[in-house]
Structure formats: C-alpha cells, structure tokens
Structure 1
Amino acid sequence: MTQRAAREPYTTRFETEVTAIDGRSVWLETSYFFGASGGQPADHGTIGDIAVTDVRLDGSEQVHVLAEEPSFKPGHRVLCSIDWSFRMYCMRAHTASHVLYGAAVRSLEEEPAYAGLEISEETVGVTLEAGSIDDETLIELDELLNRVVWESRPVSWEDVPISSARERDEIGFDEERTPDAIEKGRVRVVSIGDNNDNGNGGALPSARDTWDVTACSGTHVRNTREVGPVTVLGRSATESGLTRIELAVGPRAIERRAAEKRAVFAATRALDVDIDGIPDELDRLDTR
C-alpha cells in the first residue's frame, strides 16, 4: 500500500471526514498520517485536538489510535495536524539511510544487499548483508554520506510497473522485503540523483546519474541537503550474521560530533601531538 504521506510528505494539515470509530480507533476518508511500516515509525499529531498515539496499516486502510475516545462521530469533519518536527526527522532519517546504502555499494568489495531499516528517535539502523566492515570503511561511509548531503542531490519518487522494476538492474527491489511499496501491480521507487541534476521531480534519472534507486514506501525529503547533520555511529553484528550500521541525524549527530572532538582534543593534549600525529604516536606507544 502506497500511503498518501509517502506521496506528499510535506502535507501536515488537512481536513477530512470521519468514516468509522471503534473506541479510540478512528478511520478517516483521507489521511496524510504515515502508518508504521518498512522500519519507519508512525507519525505523531492530532485529530480534532486529540493526540494520535499510533497509526497502523490494516490491509488497504489506516487505523488511527487516539489517546482517548473522541466526542466527534462518523460523518463529522475534523481538522488533522501532523507533528512536523517528527515527520521531518523521519524524512531526513529515511533519506539518509538510502544515501548510506549508495555509499556502501561504492565502498564495499562485494555489493551489499539491503536487509532492513529501523528508525528510532535517537538512531537510524541500516542492516546489510555484507562482508566485514572495518573502521576505515566506516570512515569512508561517513565521508561519502556527508559529501552527498553537501552536494544537494535531488530526491524524487514515482510509481513504476513491477515488470519494469524487475528488468532494471539499477533499481534495488526485493519484493519480499518491500511489500509495502507495491500496490496494484506498481512499485514506488525513490531515487537520489546526480549532483548536477536540477531535481524537477520528473521521471527517474538514468542509471549513470543516480546515487541510489530503491523500492521504498517511506517518506523522504526532496533534496539531500535537507538531511542536515548526520554521522555514522558504528556497526555491529546481528544474531543472524548480518551487519547493522547505526547513524545519527540532527541533534544526536551534532552531540556525537561534539563528543568526538572532545575526545580528539583530549588525546592531543595527553600525547602532546597535533591531530594528524595521534595515530603515529599511538602506534609508537603500542610497540613499547
């Protein structure tokens, strides 16, 4: 199911009719709330001034769970408001995960397979089927990630026939892992284009121009520059033997960068060397 939120992620206020109510669960004629799927959490917000605590997908319908039973009834029109701060955070985080995957394709010896995403309020976890990822590779991934953000590459999305997506090698498309991106024989594809593209939101760029092209049901920013501060935190192995890379986006990324600088400056003082001399000095101490 392709959600309206994914098609129009910048829409955060709308009026619509209530079609059904069951206790605290509400169904709307039209909804721009994002229902939790594909590793992206549900939107926050209000319906008729009552807080929305969850948005779930039930087949082709969205169920909005409120903090309390509403006084409005089916047939009433209600004003809905989506928490822009959290929506934008998820848009930034989800786009950052696609940029990271494009960086992994370019940095790893064997092309990785995308295996999952988890966006939380603190971190973004991207799980890959990939070989060993050492510290130097993590640094390269972080550098590429931030370079693409700096380059202000356009981000676009469109629905294409499944048959076409299967035939195009440049599209990352796993039907079992991205069922939420498929609807009525078409798949939603998100593309991060070339840094020289003007990003007019039209057809997908050609394969040689793209940083990443992936089937996806989530919300995204229109340009990589909107991702903002982002940093790679580290990697870990999952129980199933996959590799999980963690990112931070926004304030958490800023805090991490500040912590890293404190650690580096402390090391320069303790070792009495400049930043570039730290590795050599540590090697010298290690061989004593």
Structure 2
Amino acid sequence: MKWPWTLQPFIFYPQGGGQNGDQGWLRAGAEEWTVTGTRLDKASGVVWHAVAGELPPVDTQLSGEVDAHSRLRQMARHTGEHLLAQAFARINPAFEVAAVGMRGPDCTLDLRGSPSEADAQVAEALLREVMVAGPLTLETQLVPHTELGRYPLRRATPLTGDVQLVIFRDTAGELFDVSACAGTHLPLGNLAAPVTVLGLEHIRAGLTRVTFRAGPEAAEYLGEVYRSARALAQGFNTGVAELPERVEALRSERDRLAAEQSRLRAALAAALVTAAPVEAYGPVQLRVLSLPDAGLLPAALSEVPAGEVRAAVAGERCSVGSGVPELDAGALLRAALTVSGGKGGGRAELAQGQTQQPEQFLAEVRRAVAEKASWSYVCHSRR
C-alpha cells in the first residue's frame, strides 16, 4: 500500500470522524489503479490516496470512481449513528456521546450516563417508530460558528469558522437531529433502517459502549440470525417464536441432570473411598485410589477425616488430601511430582496437579507418608 497521490478537488472521502475513507479506482485511458483507502493531512489539507500496486507516472491525468457499494455502507453506518444517538438522547439527555466508531459492520457509540439494556430497547423502538411514521429528510448547511447557538446541536462542537451541520427532519418538518459533521450520510434517514443494537458493555466508570448495525449490514445480520434460529427450531420440531420456551425447558432439564450427576458422583466417590483398603503407618491411615473419572477427584478428596491421608489419581490428574496436621498435602504432592514428573500445588488440606506417571506418583506418596508417619510416631513415643 502506498500513499503517493493527491487529488484536488477530491471525490474520495478521507478517513475521519470514526468513518473509513473511500475506496475505488483511478483511471487513465485503459489503465486502472485500485484505491484502497484515503486519509487527510489536516495541516496541508491534502488528501492522500492509498494505491495498490505500481504507481501511475507523475503528471498522469486521472479520473476517479468511488466504490459505491463501500460508500453506501459507510453512509448507512454514519446515518444510523446520528439517528440512534439522538434516540438515546431523547430517552435521557444524560446519554451523551463521548466517542463513535464506524470502521466495520459492528459500529459503536460510547455513551455517558450508563444506559441499560432496557434503555437500548426503548431507543431502538423509538427510532423504528419515527422511521415508520414518514421520511427523515437530510439537509446540510454551512453555518458560521457564531450562529451555532440558534441550532439544537445534540453534541457541542469546538469548531470555528464555517461549520457544516447535518440535519434530519421528521415527516412533520420538525428537527429530529442536528449535528456538526463533515461525514457522508444517506439522503433519507429511513434508508439506514434497520438500526439494530447488538449489545452494551461498560468499558469504564460512567461510559457504556453500545454496539449496533445499520442499513444493509443490519438486515444481513438479522437475516442470518433468523435463518439460524429457524434451523435450530426445526431441529427441535418447534417454531422460531417458541424457541425461548424450548430453550428454558432445556436449561431446566440441564440443571436437574447436573444436580443428579453431582449427587451420583458424590455417592460413587464415597463408595470407592470406603472400598479402598486402609494402609496404617503408625498413627496415620492412608487410602490410595485409582479413579475412573477426574470428575470424582473433588468428592473423593473432600472432608478427609482427622488422622487420614488420601492420594488419588484419575488419568493424568492427581490429588492429595490430608487430615493430619503434620502431613501437609501440598508438600506431599510436590514431593511426589518431583519424582514422577508433573506440576501442581495447593493447601495443607488439599492439593492437586498433573502427572504422566500416576502409578509412580502414588508409590511416592505412599513412601513419603510411611517415612514421615513413622518419624512422627517415633517422636511422639519418645515424648
């Protein structure tokens, strides 16, 4: 990508105000160059055009053609941004625009005042009602900055000199939105429909990011969502309108099965612990378990009684639980992993990790417990 060419006066809108620059083509006779983007040098007022491939020779007389498909989508995004921001402002004047982004199909409004999901739904509905009522016509005016006070600007501007105002009027001729803006917009605000809010995100204190789509990109998105919902509904032998009810029923069933699974896991783990032989090392009892499922480890190692140590493996997962204050579960696990290879850690009561040599891990825990328990027994006997 190169930025060698300027066109004055220019037909390509340069990147700015949250909007992408135009794309298109430059031509000289039968030769053609693709313009992949444009940007404005504010200091000189020069518009630079990014040209793919080799550059035209210096002094080549060129004609330009803007990519209408790309431009129309940019216009829909920008128009949708103005109208949606105004809808939020009408719900609550505290919902002021701090920043905008329209560089892709998913556009953003950063709003002050912490709007909620309910506010977004109301704003979307309000804008839809205005668009259905009749045309939202576009006007542009150049106004000296000294006269801006005569207009109900949605957002104050620091610009001086002649300022371009973008005005949308409703079907009754009343001002719907007035903004200082030099971007590209659709001649009818209705052409930006549908304007669809995709979600809200609190990005920092007092600032909420509203993600939305407008125009063809919103229609494409909604169409794809509906097709996906219809395919999903067909899989459940129900209609799209009944999907929420069906999903809620499945969620309830999932929760019931999860609770039942948890109960059965706990019962199976308890049975496996009871069935495991007790190895006595002085005052310490050791149970060693090889479990069929790593999901059984938490239940098998929870609430280890006083005087008992448990070591368990399930595949490559391993764990140690201790009810003996002198035998730290974390220390036992780390020592066993040093020999068997692996990593892990935990507290004095419970530790867990992973090893590729589970049998060696268990053997090392057994050896460590036997050694430490015997030493502790000897010490207690001498006392």
Q: If the length of structure 1 is used for normalisation, what is the TM-score?
A: 0.72
Partner of 1:67: 52
Shift of 1:249: 2.3
Structure 1 residues 268 and 164: CA distance shift in structure 2, 3 A: farther
| 1:139 and 2:121 correspond | yes
Structure 1 residues 188 and 32: CA distance shift in structure 2, 3 A: same
Which letter maps to 1:175? T
Partner of 1:193: 169
Partner of 1:6: none
Secondary structure at the residue paired with 2:120? helix
Matched length: 242
1:204-262 CA distances to partner (integer Å, 9 max, x unpaired)?
Answer: xxxxx111111112101111122143311111122464111111124432243245545
Distance 2:239 2:49 in 1: 58
Secondary structure at the residue paired with 2:62? strand
Distance 1:127 1:152 in 2: 27
Partner of 1:88: 72
Distance 1:106 1:66 in 2: 43
Secondary structure at the residue paired with 1:77? coil
| 1:38 and 2:7 correspond | no
Equivalent in 196, 199, 207 of residue 242 of structure 1 = 207
Q: Describe how 1:137-286 pairs up with structure 2 within 5 A.
A: 137-150=119-132, 151-165=134-148, 167-168=149-150, 170-176=152-158, 182=159, 185-197=161-173, 209-239=174-204, 241-258=206-223, 261=226, 263=229, 275=241
Partner of 1:28: 7
Distance 1:24 1:258 in 2: 38
Which letter maps to 1:157? T
Shift of 1:112: 2.0
| 1:124 and 2:81 correspond | no
Q: Larger Cα Rg: Structure 1 or Structure 2?
A: 2
Distance 1:77 1:273 in 2: 60
Partner of 1:12: none
Distance 1:149 1:72 in 2: 49
Task: Pick which of 27-36 and 224-233 moved more.
Answer: 224-233
Partner of 2:357: none
Distance 2:240 2:222 in 1: 18
1:131-157 CA distances to partner (integer Å, 9 max, x unpaired)?
Answer: 2323x2221122122233333210111
| 1:77 and 2:53 correspond | no
Distance 2:248 2:151 in 1: 45
Distance 1:132 1:212 in 2: 20
Shift of 1:72: 3.2
Shift of 1:264: 8.7
Structure with greater helix share of residues: 2
Q: Which runs of 5+ in 2 are unaligned?
A: 257-383
Partner of 1:104: 88
Partner of 2:326: none
Which letter maps to 1:33? F
Q: CA RMSD in A?
A: 3.1
Shift of 1:39: 0.1
Higher relative contact order (CA 8 A, sep 6+): 1
The share of aligned pairs that are identical, in percent, is 25
Distance 1:101 1:226 in 2: 17
Q: State whether residues 51 and 67 of structure 1, in contact with CA within 8 Å, keep that contact through their aligned partners in structure 2.
A: yes
Which letter maps to 1:42? G
Distance 1:251 1:221 in 2: 12
Distance 1:224 1:148 in 2: 10
Distance 1:169 1:225 in 2: 23
Q: State whether residues 97 and 155 of structure 2, in contact with CA within 8 Å, keep that contact through their aligned partners in structure 1.
A: no
Distance 1:240 1:52 in 2: 40
Structure 1 residues 271 and 139: CA distance shift in structure 2, 3 A: farther
Secondary structure at the residue paired with 2:153? coil
Structure 1 residues 44 and 139: CA distance shift in structure 2, 3 A: same
Which letter maps to 1:246? T
Secondary structure at the residue paired with 1:91? helix
Shift of 1:105: 1.4
Distance 2:72 2:239 in 1: 41
1:132-191 CA distances to partner (integer Å, 9 max, x unpaired)?
Answer: 323x222112212223333321011111111111x2361134335xxxxx46x1111111
